[in-house]
Amino acid sequence: MDVTDFPDDLVQTQAAWNATYAALAALRPRDTTALRRRLLLLSGRLWWHPHWDTVPSVPAARSELRQLARARGVVQAA
């Protein structure tokens, strides 16, 4: 299995995490409590996803997942 073969739900969760983090980091975010709760929920889903049991180098794979989700987010926004 190639490190870049991430399940779709994992990539979508990372993209949702990125979007939530960006919303929370905005100049004057609305409903910060809900955003923080969502960030915690998504963080748990990312951390405990079963995919990590099949990856030989989890830290490298997590980094690659973040890069992939950012790249897909830029493509979708364009």
| pLDDT tens-place string over residues 29-68 | 999 999 999 999 999 999 999 999 999 999 999 999 999 9
pLDDT of amino acid 1: 41
Of residues 32 and 73, the one with the higher pLDDT is 32
pTM of the predicted model, to two decimals?
0.86
- Residue 75 pLDDT greater than 90, yes or no: no
Neighbours of 49 (CB within 10 A): 16
**Cα–Cα distance for residue pair 20/22, rounded to 1 Å:** 5
